[in-house]
Amino acid sequence: MINIRPVSDMRNKFSEIEETVLKTGDPVFLTKNGYGSMVVMSIEQYAALTDDIELKLDEADRAADSADIRYSGDEMFKRVRGRIHGRKEL
């Protein structure tokens, strides 16, 4: 179940939020004035979300270091859009 709490609970009930995040492994969504403000999660949860991205970025850096071809931002986005829409633009 999604756990939504007011942002003031970070100040007033931090221990409860910490316990929820660490025991259940689920994030806690905080609201301010009825709107989403932030998400609190454990380091392990954060790592699970970002580790694969970090590995892919490292892989892309290594590929860029070994290639002589460079594309401008516009060229790169044109290539990505082409692939998304099924065209093979090189």
The pLDDT tens digits of the residues spanning 4-17 come to 999 999 999 999 99
Contact assessment for residue 16 and residue 41, using Cβ atoms and an 8 Å cutoff:
no
The reported pTM is 0.63
- Rounded (5°) CA angle 31-35-39: 40
Q: Write out the H or E segment, with its range, that includes residue 81.
A: helix 73-84
Length of the chain: 90
User: In this predicted structure, what is the pLDDT of residue 1?
Assistant: 80
Which domains, from first to last, does the chain contain? Answer: 3-41 (3.40.1620.10), 45-84 (no CATH)
Q: Which tens digit of pLDDT belongs to each residue from 23-77?
A: 999 999 999 999 999 999 999 999 999 999 999 999 989 988 998 888 899 998 9
